């Protein structure tokens, strides 16, 4: 069994649309070179970590070599190729969104469904939870939101 962890944080922007776990949801989006999807970025990093394949920034640097506003679904699909996903089985995925402005409990079911579709696995294997920041710091002030992802895989 292998495990990988991933972390991501982006600054909120009212000028951007919020994309989380590959779906559009209500709320302030993120300033980012890509669509700023903190769930898919941390999940992609966790998947790469589980197979010791560096990190998302290595394959998609935040410069002109990566298309502006690239979809994080596209990035995830590339990551699945890199880790040879078809030779793996996901044991489980646990995701925590750290935010003062995103109410995860309202949208977690929709995000879990989409993640299950993207990864072609059962919804029961995925947990998405939220954690507020007790009004502390940049996350507590609603300036940024972050995400932690943990993935466990084994060889198929």
For the bound state, the minimum distance from the C-beta of residue 122 to Zn ion, rounded and expressed in Å, comes to 26
Q: Which is nearer to Zn ion, 67 or 109 (CB)?
A: 67
Q: Which is nearer to Zn ion, 57 or 84 (CB)?
A: 57
For the bound state, the minimum distance from the C-beta of residue 5 to Zn ion, rounded and expressed in Å, comes to 15
The whole-angstrom distance between residue 90's C-alpha and the CA centroid of its chain comes to 16
Neighbours of 72 (CB within 10 A): 26
Record the tokens describing residue 100, joined without a space.
Answer: 């003062």
For the bound state, the minimum distance from the C-beta of residue 38 to Zn ion, rounded and expressed in Å, comes to 6
Residues 56 and 45: their CA atoms lie apart, in Å, by: 6
Out of 12, 20, 41, 108, the residue judged to bind Zn ion by CB under 5 A: 41
Q: Give the β-pairing of 144-155 and 126-131.
A: unpaired
Contact residues toward Zn ion (CB under 5 A) are 8, 41
């Amino acid at each position: 069994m292998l495990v990988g962890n991933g972390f991501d944080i982006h600054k909120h922007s009212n000028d951007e649309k919020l994309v989380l776990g590959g779906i559009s949801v209500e709320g302030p989006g993120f300033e980012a070179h890509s669509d700023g999807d903190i769930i898919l970025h941390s999940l992609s990093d966790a998947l790469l970590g589980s197979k010791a394949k560096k990190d998302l920034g290595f394959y998609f640097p935040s410069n002109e070599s990566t298309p502006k506003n690239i979809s994080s679904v596209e990035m995830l699909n590339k990551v699945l190729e890199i880790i040879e996903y078809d030779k793996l089985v996901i044991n489980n995925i646990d995701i925590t969104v750290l935010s003062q402005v995103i109410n995860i409990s309202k949208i977690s079911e929709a995000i879990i469904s989409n993640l299950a579709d993207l990864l072609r696995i059962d919804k029961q294997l995925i947990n998405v939870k939220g954690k507020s920041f007790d009004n502390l710091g940049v996350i507590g002030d609603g300036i940024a939101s972050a995400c932690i992802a943990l993935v466990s895989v084994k060889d198929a």
